[in-house]
Amino acid sequence: MKLASTGGAPPLLQGKAYAEPSVFRPENLLREARRQKQLSDRPVPDVCLLDPDGDVVRHLVETGRGRLEPGWACYHTQMWTTEWDGLRAGVVGCAVGAPFAVLVAEQLAVSGATLVVSITSAGQLAPLADPPYFVLIDRALRDEGTSLHYQPPSTWSDLSGHLAAALAPLTTPRGTLFSGSSWTTDAPYRETEAAIAVAVDAGAICVEMEAAALYAYAAARDRDVVCIAHVTNSMAVAGDDFEKGDTNGAGAALTLAAAVARAVAAR
């Protein structure tokens, strides 16, 4: 397939055969990683948490409540396993941004994880409360590139319907979550007034860096992925920002992940 000449569609929009399998596959990469590192083929926990900021991982290490997972063969990250609020979960820290988050999610799936929960810091676009607070992302504006490798172009990536139904009780007025739409961007330092206005006009209430790609991957691969925004800031334009509360939000994030896992399992 020949690339279009200069002035045509960018490469990101060319050569996407969505039904065609990839030549480079996560299971093959992990097979070689296990061989090189002399690791067993032990599965990871059924429920895994993506912790882009790394605060949950740091809390587990500092408190001794996590242990390194010997079955995780990723070249780029470590996994810490913890028991929290009745949930056994694997936690992978600092997988920030759409490409990295999806790379890790792909590898989690072929390593035995059946539910991936991503809890990421987000900027406030429309005030629902005083930060910090959590938002279940029901759809994400696709202002990034990774999702276009998994799903044809469209405006939004959506939380799957069966997960939305399972988690609906958590988003009631007495629940632990707000629910709403996010804007996923690849370029946080290009959140201009014009770009923000477009996202807000489309209906986004917060901005983050992973959800649109994770939901597109989940739809393409038939995986269970839940993305939650931890709204902690107003993009540092005024006042004290990026405060997550007690233990930098680690305890609240783990408790919320456990509640999500219980709700999904009960459905």
pLDDT at 136 over 80: yes
Distance CA 75, CA 28 (A): 13
Q: What integer is the mean pLDDT of 70-97?
A: 96
| Higher local confidence (pLDDT), 233 or 175 | 233
Q: What percent of the chain clears pLDDT 90, i.e. is strictly above it? A: 87
Least confident span in 97-106, 116-125, 207-216, 237-246:
237-246
Structural domain spans, the chain: 28-266
What CATH number matches the domain at 28-266, 3.40.50.720, 3.40.50.970, 3.40.50.1580, 3.30.390.30?
3.40.50.1580
Among the ranges 10-19, 166-175, 199-208, which has the highest mean pLDDT value?
199-208
Mean per-residue pLDDT of the chain? 94
pLDDT at 2: 61
pLDDT at 234: 85
What is the enclosing helix (H) or strand (E) of 259? helix 250-266
- The answer to whether 177 and 132 are in contact (CB under 8 A) is no
Q: What integer is the mean pLDDT of 92-99?
A: 97
Distance CA 124, CA 102 (A): 23
pLDDT at 6 over 60: no
pLDDT at 42: 93
Confidence category of residue 105, pLDDT binned at 50, 70, 90 = very high
Confidence category of residue 7, pLDDT binned at 50, 70, 90 = low
pLDDT at 245: 86
pLDDT at 237: 80
- 229: helix, coil or strand? strand
pLDDT at 172: 79
Those residues whose C-beta lies under 8 Å from the C-beta of residue 116, and which sit 6 or more positions away, are: 48, 49, 50, 105, 108, 109, 214, 223, 224, 225, 226
Q: Is the pTM of this model over 0.85?
A: yes
pLDDT at 5: 57
Confidence category of residue 59, pLDDT binned at 50, 70, 90 = very high
Which of 137, 64, 155 shows the shortest CA–CA distance to 101? 137
DSSP 186: S
pLDDT at 3: 60
